Structure 1
Amino acid sequence: MKLVSAVEHGWLSIGNEGDLTAQEADALATAESVLPKNCLEWSRNRVKFRQFCGVVQVQQVLQIEILPKVFPHQTPEQQRTTLIEMLDTAGDIEGLSAQQAGLGTSNHRLLDVFIRHFLRLLEAQLQQGLLRDYRDVEDMLDQVRGRIDLIRQQRENLFKPQRLACRFNELVVDIPVNRLLHTALLCMTHLASSPMLRQHIQSVRMRFGGIGVIHKGDHLPRADDLNRMQRRYASVVELARLFIDGQYLDARAGQQQVYSLLFDMNQLFERFVAVKLRPTARKMGLRLMEQGPRRYLGEDDSGKGRLLMRPDISLLDDLNRPVAILDTKWKLLESSNPLASLSSADLYQLSTYASAYRCDQVMLLYPEQSGFRGEYQMSLNLARPVTLNVLAVPLDGKGLSLSVRNVAEFM
């Protein structure tokens, strides 16, 4: 299988001497229908992934990993580390860290890193045994087990009194949660690029002998579906769902198997910032709200709200009034002076937020990048004084403390 590394918004050339052959590009184009909308951008003899990072695999012939790039001259290992630390912090893949993945010393593929992490979590739980649950069983037996079903006994065994229609509970391992985990392992067998990793998967699968798999249309158990005795498997179940949700069998692609594990970096960065900021907000006596508070900018003649506003992050006081509104932007600035690189659309949006929410402090947050670290500030000429802070958010796992002093001034 051919392995290709790309960066978000980075072009892959198509041709005999390019990153992808024409046949591989055709296979990717056919698979586009099951990928996130607007994930790919095509041009003449080239293609790129927009704001998505992760992995796409088409059949067993092509695997593309898409990595973030916020600093020039980063190695693929450093780019993988950035993505993994963000996923760990945001909680998309719980318990995953670059140190555990061993990215500092090895050139592991991104998908192999995710698989190894799943196996590590699963094996830790299997040390305490497979999950079991009781199942209602009806059977004809020679001796009583559980209780006798009198109606069935009279209907089916009227002339065979030596046979007993019994109903009882049986402790079994072939339950939906285990079928989910077994299905995820089966999926990973076809995704792992390392022979040793595939062998590792097979050895774990042996623990699931006699357990079925999830079929198309079956309900996929969630962590919320687990009972008190099963809760220790919660993180493993959610990761298994992530693997299974990414697998498609596209009929329009001639039954071509397509797999994708892609993360929208705009959304991931927003969740990353929210997690980093929440402790600071709590210390200030503020409540952090994601995607809100929602409010309409105006109303039409009938009184119906128009143009719903939904800030990325808001800091609310004890009366639920916005003290500061934050907008996250996962993109690179073109100039070393961030204030000179701000787009008019971003400034108009934040000015609208400041006016509509009567908020005196707004912030634009970008990933820390070459030429942009720290914080910049400017005033917006609105009906009342409004301060705009432009901040660089470090992605190296350090804590985040954003303008505590400045926000406190407006409380």
Structure 2
Amino acid sequence: MSISIELTEHEPATSRVLPDAVGRALATSRIVSASPDPHIPGNWLLRAGHNVGAVTVGGPGIDSPVTVRIAPKVLITRLFFLLGYSLDPRGAWHDGQVDVAEHRDLLPALAHAVERQIERALRQGLLQGYQETDEAALVVRGRIRETDQIRRHFGAALPVEVTYDEFTTDIAENRLLRSAVERLLRLPGVPHDVRRRLLHHRLRLADVTPLVRGQLLPAWHPNRLNARYQQALHLARAVLTDASPEHAPGGLRMDGFLFNMNKLFEDFVTVALRESLRGTDLRCVLQDAHHLDEAAAIRMRPDFVLYQPDGAPLAVVDAKYKAEKRAGYPDADLYQMLAYCTALGLPEGHLVYAKGNEPHAAHRIRNAGIVIHQHALDLDQAPADLLSDIASVSRLMRASRSV
């Protein structure tokens, strides 16, 4: 019988009975913070950090698989709004009405949402396109690869090394969908009815080559032909990118799916800021690389830098998804932002948090004249209100242009 442990992100540590092998595996993987309970032999102290989702650990020495489920603090629908908007800000997800049915756990909700989007994508049949193919053939088709012909066949007339464009369903878009289906079918906790429909999609995509694990995801470009696929492709990429480790020490195996809430919040904030500035003459750069020192030895990478038309920096932003603390915002974030402002020559910097104890704070740094703003976003509010708060941060950033 499987053992299930329920945790919530950033909640205090809880003591649970665990096989030592599982506790060590969780501690090594850093999925959760895990350490032996000094007061209760056989128990481990578990604390969830920024990862949310579900992971099952099993294998040698474990009589019953152990499943750890980590619930997000925000509603599932809000989490999917953050995800959907960061993936496709101008798509149909902007209203936050993502089809997650009645699922309150992340993995079943994700599987349901992906399956529904794939159903919509494939409703009119599989997308086809031209795929460049290299092969050794008995007839000439396309163009002959002369170098390969000489190197591989030493002057023999047949077979002929050729390259040609084939009109096929085995294209990047379908490969991503097929691989996402395969990934979800391997995960524990996918509802039976969703699994049944995913198996049906796998049959529809049977002639499509799935991706090999670890292989770079193929690129695709939005266009008129793949418009019906686009939401499914964004979700498929999220499924294939945000995954848990599959192997643990001692031959143990981990199966599951995790979202990094730090990255999800950062992606949402930076994409939403960029969208709020669309149509202006300002340029936005995400994860902009700079150096703190003149010798370019100390690297830094702010989440978001806003540039004026002449190329001069106008504003810098860092997104911080942090646990709420009684003492308010962490001082270390202020020091980091001060370094950004100093290196970029900016009079103001902006730290954007998930909602904490203070809605907004501004600090003027002694002997520097730099003002650091700390903003807090309430992720539980309606999507339109959340985007309105982002727009307020954007307006404050642009206001420094006239200072």
The two structures share one fold, judged by TM-score above 0.5 = yes
Q: Which one of the candidate residues 288, 295, 302 is aligned to 2:290?
A: 295
- Percent identical: 25
Q: Which amino acid aligns with 2:377?
A: V
**TM-score relative to the length of structure 2:** 0.72
Aligned partners of 1:137 and 1:170 also within 8 Å: no
Map 1:40-59 to 2 at 5 A: 40-43=32-35, 44=37, 45-58=44-57
Q: Which amino acid aligns with 1:390?
A: Q
Aligned partners of 1:222 and 1:238 also within 8 Å: no
The CA distance in 2 between the partners of 1:50 and 1:230, in whole Å, is 38
Unaligned runs of 5+ in 2: 38-43, 59-63
> Max radius of gyration: which structure?
1
Q: Which one of the candidate residues 369, 372, 389 is aligned to 2:358?
A: 372
Map 1:82-93 to 2 at 5 A: 82-91=78-87
Map 1:164-175 to 2 at 5 A: 172-173=168-169
Change (3 A) 1:353 1:49: same
Aligned partners of 1:221 and 1:237 also within 8 Å: no
Change (3 A) 1:381 1:126: same
1:30 maps to 2:21: no
1:354 maps to 2:346: no
Shift of 1:130: 1.6
The CA distance in 1 between the partners of 2:65 and 2:96, in whole Å, is 28
Q: How many residues align?
A: 364
Q: Which amino acid aligns with 1:99?
A: Q
Q: Which one of the candidate residues 302, 314, 319 is aligned to 1:311?
A: 302
Change (3 A) 1:391 1:199: same
1:7 maps to 2:8: yes
Q: Which amino acid aligns with 1:356?
A: A
Q: Which residue of 2 aligns with 1:65?
A: 69
**What are the superposed Cα offsets for residues 352-409 of structure 1, whole Å, 9 maximum, x if unpaired?**
333332211222222224x433x333322224x3323222223232222127357525
The CA distance in 2 between the partners of 1:168 and 1:409, in whole Å, is 55
Equivalent residue of 1:319, what SS? coil
**What are the superposed Cα offsets for residues 239-282 of structure 1, whole Å, 9 maximum, x if unpaired?**
3344345265427552625333322x333222222223234445
Aligned partners of 2:358 and 2:376 also within 8 Å: yes
Change (3 A) 1:213 1:279: closer
Aligned partners of 1:180 and 1:214 also within 8 Å: yes
The two structures, once aligned, show a CA RMSD in angstroms of 4.1
The CA distance in 2 between the partners of 1:356 and 1:137, in whole Å, is 53
Aligned partners of 1:67 and 1:79 also within 8 Å: no
**What are the superposed Cα offsets for residues 191-232 of structure 1, whole Å, 9 maximum, x if unpaired?**
2432222222223233234555444566643335x9985575
Shift of 1:111: 0.9
Aligned partners of 1:10 and 1:48 also within 8 Å: yes
Shift of 1:190: 3.4
Aligned partners of 1:243 and 1:261 also within 8 Å: no
Q: More deviation in 111-120 or 82-91? A: 82-91
The CA distance in 2 between the partners of 1:367 and 1:284, in whole Å, is 27
Aligned partners of 1:247 and 1:259 also within 8 Å: yes
Unaligned runs of 5+ in 1: 70-77, 157-166
Q: Which one of the candidate residues 378, 389, 392 is aligned to 2:373?
A: 389
The CA distance in 2 between the partners of 1:200 and 1:2, in whole Å, is 27
Aligned partners of 2:55 and 2:67 also within 8 Å: yes
Q: Which residue of 1 aligns with 2:203?
A: 206
Equivalent residue of 2:306, what SS? strand
Change (3 A) 1:30 1:350: closer
**TM-score relative to the length of structure 1:** 0.71
Shift of 1:110: 0.9
The CA distance in 1 between the partners of 2:46 and 2:306, in whole Å, is 40
Q: Which one of the candidate residues 311, 317, 320 is aligned to 1:320?
A: 311
The CA distance in 1 between the partners of 2:108 and 2:212, in whole Å, is 24
Q: Which amino acid aligns with 1:68?
A: P
Change (3 A) 1:238 1:223: farther
